[in-house]
Amino acid sequence: MTPVAAAGGTASGPANAPGMLVDVSSLQVVGGRYELVRPVGAGGMGRVWQGVDVHLEREVAVKVVKPDLLEGPGRHEAAARFRREARVTAQIDHPGVPAIFDAGFDEATGELFLVMAYLPGLNLRDLLDENGALPADWTLAIGAQLASVLAAAHSRQVVHRDLKPANIIVGPSGLVHVVDFGIAAVLEPDAARLTATGDKPGTLNYMAPEQIRAQPAGPAADLYALGALLYEMATGERLFADRGSAYEVQTAHLKELPDPVRRARPDLPSELDGLVSRLLSKEPAERGSDAAAVHLDLAAMLTAAPASGAPARDFGDPTWPFRAPLAPRWVAREAVQTAGRAAAGTDRAELLAEADRSYAAGDFNGALSAFRSLAKTFETPDPALALHCQVRAAQCLASLGNAASALAGLSSVIERQRRLEGERARSTLRSRRIAVDMLAALARGPEAHHRLSELVRDMAAALGPADADTIEAERLLRAWSAPPQGPVR
């Protein structure tokens, strides 16, 4: 994981550790006081550097406009856009928007520069790529914080227009920041229009239908992007990412409705389905434009959601600002992890029952996602339960026709159960029984027969000959009067 600059670029290496020597004589200085230590990424209009304000001796992020943009016929527009980004960002008073410290023109280098707070942490794109679908409480907490930032921006008549994972940073305190207001629209009647007619500012996977049509984008366009982000955090998949081309993605945004998020994640609050569906409405009027109301809805869902207590390394748990307001990181971490352990004990039966109902109803895809999510949730507080969820996930995978992958995963789980719970534990023996079914489904009849013979012997020794599991396994073994040569269920 890598630290992130305030302007949205991902750092290319670790920040200078305390005591690390830097050859300041070789550093470029802009504005007479900002040393550019190392590049950490690129925004829409310039390169972003991690730097040091030598007057105040603090880390800063410095965005320097691309030199080629200050040449040619477009230089005046580029300069105006850059200055407006500084002005617009500075006017949004919210802890989720990076503070602007300075902006100016460096006479020595001929460069425009913007100085902001340096924000360590991880951007949401990297977080999703590393983890896939996020825990339910993280999805709700990040969504609520984003909605709060949008409410502050919209109150200043600013529409971001490019809300996407790469422009969202989760910091060490769990605070979520929105960066890169370079293509923001200012909804003032007399505001200069810096986007040419027919331009489509934004990023396709998060672009509202009106943006795709190159129509004016208001606050509802940002809410559509928020809906797309909630969908991706909940499911681990970008909205309409399975389409084969950019044209098909655009068409889907214009005409198609995605599957409900709870089809993939039954552990999510039912209210989230309705909210995401509304935010992804094709017509802006149907989405509404009140980001503050969306924030309150998501915060209320988070209050009722169990604490996952999921581990966070180079970034903070985004639920900390809600569950332990203003607490130091180590205090918030312990408070949320304690709540997570309690929630796992209280709510796991309900969550497992819901996943089992999906499986019984034949919704193997939904059940598979649910059991995988539950396995991650319970890995730390209850490893044995996490293994049980992995077994159930393997059964879902086999029911979807992928018995080979299911058996490979189940074999690994059985080995962990043997180490954690013991060879004679009922959970281990039951997993071995499921593996027999998978072997038979793969037409490995003789091997299945041999495994079942061993299992009957071990069950009788561990559970007793009158145990229901032992009797069921013996009955199946007797039905196989001879080792089967083909698939048997």
Catalytic residues: 162
Annotated binding residue at 63? yes
Distance CA(356)–CA(454), nearest Å, equals 29
**36: β partners:** 28, 51
For helices 291-304 and 136-155, the axis angle rounded to 10 degrees is: 160
Beta-carbon count within 10 A of 173 CB: 20
Closest CA to 176 of 155, 154, 131, 146: 146
For helices 383-399 and 403-420, the axis angle rounded to 10 degrees is: 160
What is the C-alpha radius of gyration for the chain, rounded to an integer number of angstroms? 27
Closest CA to 61 of 89, 101, 18: 101
- The answer to whether the CB of 85 falls within 8 A of the CB of 45 is yes
- The answer to whether the CB of 165 falls within 8 A of the CB of 117 is no
Three-class DSSP category at 97: coil
Q: Which residues have a Cβ under 8 Å from the Cβ of 269 and sit 6 or more positions away?
A: 136, 140, 301, 304, 305
Q: Which residues are annotated as a binding site for ATP?
A: 63
